[in-house]
Amino acid sequence: MSTLDSTSLEPTSLATTVPPQVLLNHHLKKLRLPTFVREHEKVAFECAQGEIDYQRYLLRLCELEHIDRERRNIERRIKQAHFPQVKGLDTFDFSAIPSLNKPMVLELARCEWIARKESCIALGNAGTGKTHTALALGLAACQKNHSVMFTTAAALVHELMEARDERRLRLLQKQLVRVELLIIDELGYVPFTAVGAELLFEVFSRRYEQGATLVTSNLPFDEWTSVFGSERLTGALLDRLTHHSHILEMNGESYRLESRKRKK
């Protein structure tokens, strides 16, 4: 078995006529350090002006690379989550929904419940900020390095049935289990067929104590049977979903309707 010639690992920059700046940029790109490439000259000049030693120079570059990499990772997770809009809690008007437990929402934004693989259910009539809350908690999860998937209940059931027909249901189910936070919005607006209800139940069942799930619904729990069409299935689903759960009561006047009234 041949061995690697140790001379091939020696630096070549001293023996070549290629300018060191060109070689440095080449190596930094190979190492996938784009922030080093972009910032090293400017930081070197600033450190020289301030008589900062080479270790602090390298430390500053490493910090910039780390910050930039985290920013890119957050952007990637947000893109992969498929949020219809990017909204945070900083734009949420808690005063418009007095029934909402603000301290609980702020605690949920710390994302410790996601690490514990618990569930969160936001209940309330239309226009009370359930989707905004779900989007904000999803954004917080992305910022805390968690993988997130956002979908509506109707879209998810449609995708599950389509995957079943195309014989890729098992692959989709594995994807839904792997994501750390699954957000299912608007449960209750559209009733499901028996097959659709069973497929959605399977998603909740597989994620039970395996991943965090956030559900928003305009219906109280005792009316979920009208969506799933079966008391037995609904009871089994709620048994899993409400175990280790956080319930957000969001009843009140529609925020959008009140906003339109104020404009008029």
Other beta carbons within 10 angstroms of residue 15's beta carbon come to 8
Q: Is the pTM of this model over 0.85?
A: no
pLDDT score, position 171? 96
Beta strands 148-152 and 119-123, pairing class: unpaired
Beta bridge partners of 216: 122
pLDDT score, position 34? 79
CATH topology of domain 82-263: Rossmann fold (3.40.50)
Split the chain (264 residues) into runs of 10 and give each run's mean pLDDT: 51 62 74 75 77 76 81 95 97 91 97 97 93 98 97 97 96 97 95 96 96 97 95 95 95 65 57
pLDDT score, position 10? 58
CA–CA gap between residue 93 and residue 102 (Å, rounded) = 10
Intervals of CATH 3.40.50.300 along the chain:
82-263
pLDDT score, position 1? 45
What residues have CB less than 8 Å from 31, skipping those under 6 apart?
Answer: none
Cβ 255 vs Cβ 129: under 8 Å: yes
pLDDT score, position 12? 56
Q: 18 is written with which tokens?
A: 């290629």
- Tokens 């922030």 belong to residue: 35
pLDDT score, position 62? 81
